[in-house]
């Protein structure tokens, strides 16, 4: 099994930037499809971005502003976020194997 821990969240102003990281341990993430999800209270957890051997995909709401990447040497997944909006405020979760494995999340607040 793979264990995931997110970091890099925080409070930023509208238009600001953050880079989220997801450090994996237990096994390499190279064999997994990896993704970022986000959730606010009383809402469904929604997919933000995903990356696999074929490339990456993004939710329409973040396309052009967010970039997902994988650092195989560090066994780490990243989400670079630019031009942040209040509606980006959420708990952000890292996932492996589709939705099989989850990190505990990191909070992003934009105001």
Tens digits of residue pLDDT in 20-70: 999 999 999 988 899 999 999 999 999 999 999 899 999 999 999 999 999
Query: What is the per-residue pLDDT for 6?
Result: 98
β-strand partners of 102: 95
Query: What is the per-residue pLDDT for 53?
Result: 86
Query: What is the per-residue pLDDT for 31?
Result: 84
Yes or no: say if 96 and 24 are a contact pair by the CB < 8 Å rule. yes
Query: What is the per-residue pLDDT for 30?
Result: 87
Yes or no: say if 18 and 9 are a contact pair by the CB < 8 Å rule. yes
């Amino acid at each position: 099994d793979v264990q995931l821990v997110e970091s890099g969240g925080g409070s930023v102003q509208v238009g600001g930037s953050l880079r989220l990281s997801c450090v994996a341990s237990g096994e390499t993430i190279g064999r997994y499809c990896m993704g970022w999800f986000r959730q606010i209270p009383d809402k469904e957890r929604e997919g933000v971005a995903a990356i696999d051997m074929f490339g990456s995909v993004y939710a329409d709401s973040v396309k052009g502003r967010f970039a997902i990447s994988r650092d195989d040497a560090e066994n780490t997944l990243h989400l670079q976020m630019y031009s942040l909006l209040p509606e980006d405020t959420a708990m952000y979760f890292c996932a492996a194997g589709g939705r099989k494995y989850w990190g505990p999340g990191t909070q992003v607040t934009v105001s």
